[in-house]
Amino acid sequence: MADGGESAGASEGGGEATESTGAEMPAGVPSKFWNAEAGSVNFEAWGKATGELEGKLRTQKSDLTKELSESLRSEWDTERFANRPETANDYEMKIPEGMELPEGMEWEFSDDDPMLGWWKETVHEMGGSQEMFEAGVGQFIEAQLGAMPNLDSEMEALGEYASSRVERVQMWAQQNLAEDMMPAMADMMSSAKNIEVVEALMEKMGEAPFSSQEMTAFGKGDSYAELREMQNDPKYWDPLNRDPAHVKKVEDGYRLLEEQERAHYNRNG
């Protein structure tokens, strides 16, 4: 009976009896870390082996993560750059499809524009397509247009004889300013307030104030606005419908206006 109890006790402990000490190896301890002679666990060796195993696992996990990351990155770059042109300069500079400019306006892009150069490089680095580039160009154009004066509103602010006032200022500028100053003058003439400023300067320099009689070049003949309307007629510009009499009337009209203006400025010069 006693022998049977001892066997049962050993079985319930889950360990193994040793020949030297009779100590049992604790459950869960790998046999290679059990010192049967001493009846103890070699914790130092066990801990070292466990650390080495964890290090190998971490290295393998890191290598696997890196390999997976590089693979995913490569796939993402391939997809991201699929529609990107070869170089930033390969983006086509054009107005986005469907975008409408104000009537009579033509938009010209400059290769030297630093903003557009920056946008090319930025979109190319992002892997952007031509459509993405054009979307940014469209926003750029809209911003530029938003900063420009509304010419219809400015002309309305000048009153009934707006066209004649603008033409009078332009004529004065051509006769009194150097040619290289005319582009700046043209920019100034885009607002009603600037036209009024130039008219005030003209008066300070001895010019007579504007009068409604100047609407028809100082009271005689057709006005510049009327002559421009005649030029828009197919009888003037269309070779198939050209009317020599109509063309002559336009040319004579401009000649008369120039003669009247010279006489006016000579009287008031």
Instruction: State the pLDDT at residue 6.
Output: 44
* Rounded-to-integer distance, Cα 222 and Cα 248, Å: 13
* Rounded-to-integer distance, Cα 161 and Cα 213, Å: 10
Do the Cβ atoms of 25 and 14 come closer than 8 Å? no
Instruction: State the pLDDT at residue 219.
Output: 41
Contacts of 220 (CB under 8 A, 6+ apart): 256, 260
pTM of the model: 0.38
* Rounded-to-integer distance, Cα 143 and Cα 119, Å: 15
pLDDT in tens, the chain (269 residues): 444 444 444 444 444 444 556 678 777 777 877 777 777 877 777 777 777 777 777 777 676 667 666 666 666 666 777 788 889 899 988 888 888 887 777 888 888 888 888 999 988 888 888 888 888 888 888 887 777 777 778 888 888 778 778 888 888 888 888 888 888 887 777 788 888 888 888 888 887 777 665 554 444 445 677 788 888 888 888 878 888 888 888 888 887 777 767 766 665 55
* Rounded-to-integer distance, Cα 158 and Cα 236, Å: 30
* Rounded-to-integer distance, Cα 87 and Cα 70, Å: 24
Instruction: State the pLDDT at residue 250.
Output: 83
Instruction: State the pLDDT at residue 19.
Output: 52
35 by DSSP, 3-state: which? strand
Instruction: State the pLDDT at residue 229.
Output: 82
Q: What is the pLDDT of residues 159-194, one digit of tens each?
A: 877 877 888 888 888 888 888 888 888 777 778 888
Nearest Cα neighbor of 187 from 154, 160, 229 is: 154
| 39 φ/ψ angles, rounded to the nearest 5 degrees | 70, 35
